[in-house]
Amino acid sequence: MKTPMSRFQIHDDLTAPEGSAPVLRGALAGGGQLPNFLGVLAGSPAALRGYARFRSELRHGRLPAPTSERIALAVAEHHHSEPGIAMHSRTARAVGLGLDEVALAREFASKDEKEAALLRYLQALVVDDARPPMHLHEECREAGWDDEAILEAIAAVALERFTAAVNVAGEVPVDGSIEESRSLRAA
């Protein structure tokens, strides 16, 4: 059995460069387990700090958590980011999305028409790498999304695209696979 390996070192708070250690310690204090993505990103203190600040600001924005998770799932699926799909599937369930909504979100869809309108708009941006057509922008507004929410959704797409790029380029393993490989080596 081949153990998944990252192209980048997966740091922890003991191996990370000095500038990354405080951010990692904060993540550990808040979450208990350090995601492989953050361990990889710790290899660049500037990238880690920028990511952490961007994510923190968006968490304090107006988008509801289920909406953010739908966006994250759609982007992770589009970029084939297995760690992102796994993490956001768990997080989406934790914020109340059912299995059907998790599956739909991975396809830029939702049974909730307001959510579906926003996801269609973002799909044009992500999948087509194009300017979303005006009718999709208007559909978002008619569904109840204002400019602030739409701009936050676009920011969420940018953050999740960055996350997916690191996961895919680094072949970052799904969280838990490193612990499994450590257990196998110890046996």
Q: Where are the alpha helices (DSSP H) in 106-176?
A: 113-126, 134-143, 147-169
Q: Does domain 65-162 have CATH number 3.30.750.24?
A: no
Residue pair 152/104 in contact (Cβ under 8 Å)? The answer is no
Domain ranges of the chain: 9-60, 65-162
- 162 exposed, middle or buried (CB, 10 Å; 0-12, 13-18, 19+)? middle
Q: What is the pLDDT of residues 20-29, one digit of tens each?
A: 999 998 888 8
Confidence grade of residue 180 (pLDDT, cut at 50, 70, 90): very low
Residue pair 180/12 in contact (Cβ under 8 Å)? The answer is no
Determine which of 25-39, 61-75, 120-134 has the lowest per-residue pLDDT on average: 25-39
* Residue 129 pLDDT: 81
Query: Rg of the Cα trace of the chain?
Result: 17
Residue pair 181/4 in contact (Cβ under 8 Å)? The answer is yes
**How far is the C-alpha of 74 from the C-alpha of 71, rounded, in Å?**
5
- Stretch 143-162: mean pLDDT, rounded? 98
* Residue 179 pLDDT: 42
Output the six-digit token pair for 9. 């070192």
pLDDT greater than 70 at residue 2: no
**How far is the C-alpha of 65 from the C-alpha of 171, rounded, in Å?**
27
- 101 exposed, middle or buried (CB, 10 Å; 0-12, 13-18, 19+)? buried
Confidence grade of residue 187 (pLDDT, cut at 50, 70, 90): very low
pLDDT greater than 70 at residue 160: yes
Residue pair 118/145 in contact (Cβ under 8 Å)? The answer is yes
Q: What is the pLDDT of residues 90-134, one digit of tens each?
A: 999 999 999 999 999 999 999 999 999 999 999 999 998 889 999
Confidence grade of residue 3 (pLDDT, cut at 50, 70, 90): low
Task: Give the SS3 label for residue 99.
Answer: helix
Determine which of 31-35, 73-77, 80-84, 161-165 has the lowest per-residue pLDDT on average: 31-35
Average pLDDT, the chain: 90
